[in-house]
Amino acid sequence: MKKAFITGISGQDGSYLAEYLLNLGYEVHGIVRRNSVPEHQQSRIDFHRENIHVYYGDLTDASGLERLLKKIQPDEIYNLGAQSHVRISFDVPNYTVQTNALGVLNILEAYRNACPEAKFYQASSSEMFGSSVDEDGFQRETTRMTPVSPYGCSKVFAYNLVHNYRNAYKLHAANGILFNHESPRRGSNFVTNKVVKGAVLIKKGLAKKLEMGNMDSFRDWGHSKDYVRAMHMIINHDIADDFVVATGTTHSVREMTDYVFSKLGLDFNEFVVQNPIYLRPEELPYLRGDCSKLKKTFNWAPEYTFETMMDEMIDFWMKTL
């Protein structure tokens, strides 16, 4: 039985990955941060609590990470833990860098010392490309990285560190460069779930308005379930490498909002207002990923489309609220 260790196991991707690996017969271990309301924190993995080994841990706690890796001796380490909200990274830049950059140094060191035969996956992000777009309108593995947020900068540091540890210490350490990915489990302060939840509240007469930030940025939105399958392929590739995971299609926030409100028989223009608190000091205007390398290497293809993913989220909130 293979053993996997997942940081960020209680998050959207961590919970789907844990389910995916359990179905493949893995023994699954993961860390969660201490929280004053633990009931809420682990809601995404509650279904599987008996099958998952959960420990308190934190990417900023180097000795705790090393102790756990020594004890568990995992075959695969998935580093999905992060301060993952881009706008909030402007509010808490130091914490973001401590967790997403130095935290990766901590887990790479723990990995190198405790279980160097294991394979390592780093959750790298399309936010690393920042303002760079290739001439054909896509971002890919070779696109220049010019990040535009503390979050993006922290992820570039971690991405480079993974290369450094791969080459210097001959570790099997891979980067998945994931574009935005969503699901009903997405935190409701990320834009897709915020819009779906807000629109459903309006539809049900429970809210009158939805306050948003910049409606003109474009994102390449895929489904988290499709992307965790890619993570497993990437970590198990013969050689440790870097892969973009994306759908290749892009939509503006405005188009996405229009899609959701229209599905509910509403005109978003009547309900959406701008609140500057949701604007970012610097915005990443356009993302569209080229994942040819992933498709060619693993024959990966997403099962969800933008529409089926958004419809699933709408159904979820219609049933939940």
Q: Which residues bind ligand F7E (CB under 6 A)?
A: 84, 86-87, 125-127, 179-180, 189-191, 194, 212-214, 217, 219, 253, 278, 280, 283
Q: Among residues 265 and 281, whose Cβ is nearest to ligand F7E?
A: 281
Q: Among residues 61 and 283, whose Cβ is nearest to ligand F7E?
A: 283
Q: Taking the complex as a whole, how short is the minimal distance between the CB of residue 158 and ligand F7E, in angstroms?
A: 12
Q: Among residues 283 and 311, whose Cβ is nearest to ligand F7E?
A: 283
Q: Taking the complex as a whole, how short is the minimal distance between the CB of residue 83 and ligand F7E, in angstroms?
A: 9
Q: Taking the complex as a whole, how short is the minimal distance between the CB of residue 147 and ligand F7E, in angstroms?
A: 11
Task: Find where tokens 């309108």 sit.
Answer: 137
| Sequence-separated (6 or more) residues with CB below 8 Å from residue 233 | 294, 297, 298, 300
* Amino acid at the residue 155: K
CA-to-CA distance for 139 and 62, rounded, in angstroms? 34
Q: Taking the complex as a whole, how short is the minimal distance between the CB of residue 107 and ligand F7E, in angstroms?
A: 17
| Sequence-separated (6 or more) residues with CB below 8 Å from residue 136 | none
Q: Among residues 66 and 127, whose Cβ is nearest to ligand F7E?
A: 127
Helix or strand (DSSP H, E) at 38: helix 38-41
Q: Among residues 85 and 293, whose Cβ is nearest to ligand F7E?
A: 85
> Would the CA dihedral through 156, 160, 165, 170 be positive or negative?
positive
Q: Taking the complex as a whole, how short is the minimal distance between the CB of residue 117 and ligand F7E, in angstroms?
A: 29
